[in-house]
Amino acid sequence: MTGEATYALTRSAILRLLGVVYLVAFLIVVRQGDPLIGHDGLLPADRFLAAIAAETGSRASAFAALPTLFWLDASDRALHAVGWTGLVLSAAVVLGATNALLQLALWALYLSVVQVGQIFYGYGWEVQLLETGFLAVFLCPVRSVRPSAAPSPPVVVIWLFRWLIVRIMWGAGLIKLRGDPCWRDLTCLAWHYETQPIPNPLSWWLHARPLWFHRAGAAFNHFVELLAPFFVVGPRRLRSTAGILFVAFQVTLILSGNLSFLNWLTIVPALACFDDASLAWLLPRALRERALSRAAAIGPPSALHRGAAWTFAAVVALLSIAPVLNLLSPHQAMNRSFDPLHLVNTYGAFGSVGRERDEVILEGTSDDAIGPDTEWREYELPCKPGDVARAPCVISPYHLRLDWQMWFAAMASAGSEPWLLHLAAKLLAGDPGVKALLARDPFPDRPPRYVRAELYRYEFTRPGDGSPDWWRRTYVRSYLRPLSLDDPELRRYLERFDLAGNEKGAGKSPAPFPRLDRRGAR
């Protein structure tokens, strides 16, 4: 095919995959929103907004600092409405029905959730979805809900998507070179598969590969993240090569771990490296020519559409100054926003890799007194390592937010994680919301008398070593001392963070310990 490149198929691929990501993201809100950030959740959004309003002095100034629809209503009913509306609109996008206003609505709805999600929404892919979603507004027509039949998108929007994938790749690559020395000597992957947040079954096999295999993987990582972005500004064939490398790299990450919808989302701007002629090769021959003919017949964008796109491109150029300076800085920060709407951000992943995997294991007992013979029973989360005989799960692109936060908690002290102490209190109260986040509740009928947390070190078993288990673990230390629901120190701690008051039940508590954990709160 000759002539000017067209991007009708490219637009369709970008929008449908973005729709899939939005669908998963809003499904997470629907399924996990209440127990995490609902009124009776671990970190209630309504209390968070009240604290922001008190700090800023007024709701108007609070809205300017933290734009979210939940300033209008932060009830659980509003959270449900946002989640289900986003889910329905996302499904429409997946089916091919969307326009600029629908994309803007999806962005505003998800922005509202991210702004109140606190630590449970503190991941880089949240702002990456917001930036990607806002760019998608300028891909679409305003009046029609059939982008496949609409005029072609302004080419400048395609370049904005390319600028996004370049920043994502360079951010991830540079933070690795500046961070952990194992990325420079190509050994990080010897630990990564075992110590990443939520490994999958293939992670177990990959971890057992020889060192040369891990060095080759790290070298490929550096090539894709640091050198391939230069291909994006090259000729069409070189740009397509960059797109192939970006997509292939993300697919390997999807296969090797459960990194939520991050890698699926990263493929979205990578698709902008392909024009219609490149993507058409994925179609059967009978459909290929028809698709290309239809794309060529689509008219150019309107003057108004081009003007809006170029205006936003100027805004992106201005907002890109801080992210670019961050990329160039020896003190580069990962996954940072520079504006309250998260329109242009900086990204990065795994700047350091853990050498050991510690896991916080929650336990409960129905015994009235704590002693050497106390029977402790373990709680089990859906995908976080616990039972050593249980196979790692495959959950991507879905994201189990509590499982991930438990991974981070093992790197900190219990006293520095208010949500974790609130979780312990809710387990003591038999709270149905948090119980819905568990894979196994050892106290299905009656809440435990005490809850504690122990720290274990987990290591993968190896193929051929004769073990029937996936993991082996060794005890490290006590992480959180036994707590009862009426423990005065627990109550004071929850009151300090405005988290007390929505647990039920009472009982006789032991004498309070001087600290909630063995190392104290940071």
Q: Is the pLDDT score of 517 beyond 50?
A: no
pLDDT of residue 522: 23
- Strands 471-483 and 377-378 come out as unpaired
Please tell me the distance from the alpha carbon of residue 432 to that of residue 430, in angstroms, as a whole number. Answer: 6
Q: Is the pLDDT score of 76 beyond 60?
A: yes
Contacting residues for 279 by C-beta, under 8 A, at least 6 apart = 9, 10, 13, 271
pLDDT of residue 63: 94
How far, in Å, are 203, 204, 216, 390 from residue 468 at the CA level?
17, 13, 30, 10
How far, in Å, are 72, 75, 155, 457 from residue 79 at the CA level?
11, 6, 37, 37
Task: Label residue 454 left, alpha or beta by phi (over 0 means left) and psi (-120 to 50 means alpha).
Answer: beta
Q: Is the pLDDT score of 205 beyond 70?
A: yes
- Strands 450-460 and 471-483 come out as antiparallel
Question: Of the given ranges (57-61, 421-425, 466-470), which has the lowest mean pLDDT?
Answer: 57-61
Phi/psi for 356 (5° steps) reads -135, 150
What are the tens digits of pLDDT across the range 424-443? 999 999 999 999 999 999 99
> Quick one: tokens of 220?
């490929």
Contact between residue 455 and residue 479 where contact means Cβ atoms under 8 Å apart: yes
Size (the chain), residues: 522
pLDDT of residue 502: 63
pLDDT of residue 4: 81
Q: Using a pLDDT cut of 70, give the percent of the chain over it.
A: 95
pLDDT of residue 283: 80
Q: Is the pLDDT score of 190 beyond 50?
A: yes
Q: How confident is the model at residue 292 (pLDDT cuts 50, 70, 90)?
A: confident
Domain boundaries, the chain: 8-346, 357-496
Question: Of the given ranges (223-232, 276-285, 290-299), which has the lowest mean pLDDT?
Answer: 290-299
pLDDT of residue 509: 34
Following CA atoms 229, 230, 233, 237 in sequence, which dihedral angle do they give, to the nearest 10 degrees? Answer: -80
Q: Is the pLDDT score of 510 beyond 80?
A: no
Please tell me the distance from the alpha carbon of residue 244 to that of residue 267, in angstroms, as a whole number. Answer: 10
**Residue 463, burial from CB neighbour count under 10 angstroms (0-12, 13-18, 19+):** exposed
pLDDT of residue 503: 64
Q: Is the pLDDT score of 28 beyond 70?
A: yes
What are the tens digits of pLDDT across the range 307-326? 999 999 999 999 999 999 99
What average pLDDT does range 342-354 have in this prediction? Answer: 95
DSSP conformation class of 339: S
Please tell me the distance from the alpha carbon of residue 395 to that of residue 32, in angstroms, as a whole number. Answer: 15
How far, in Å, are 180, 192, 203, 350, 385 from residue 208 at the CA level?
21, 11, 9, 20, 18
DSSP conformation class of 112: H
Total-model pTM: 0.93
pLDDT of residue 504: 47
Average pLDDT, whole number, for the chain?
Answer: 92
Q: Is the pLDDT score of 331 beyond 50?
A: yes
What average pLDDT does range 54-66 have in this prediction? Answer: 90
Q: How confident is the model at residue 3 (pLDDT cuts 50, 70, 90)?
A: low
Supply angle C-alpha 316, 348, 65, rounded to 5: 55
Collapsing DSSP to helix, strand or coil, 161 comes out as helix
Contact between residue 477 and residue 456 where contact means Cβ atoms under 8 Å apart: no
How far, in Å, are 4, 5, 270, 356, 500 from residue 243 at the CA level?
19, 16, 5, 34, 50
What average pLDDT does range 1-18 have in this prediction? Answer: 86
Q: Is the pLDDT score of 142 beyond 80?
A: yes
Starting at the edge strand found earlier in the chain, the sheet holding 450-460 runs 377-378, 357-365, 450-460, 471-483
> Of 486, 482, 462, 480, whose CA–CA distance to 472 is shortest?
462
Q: How confident is the model at residue 285 (pLDDT cuts 50, 70, 90)?
A: confident
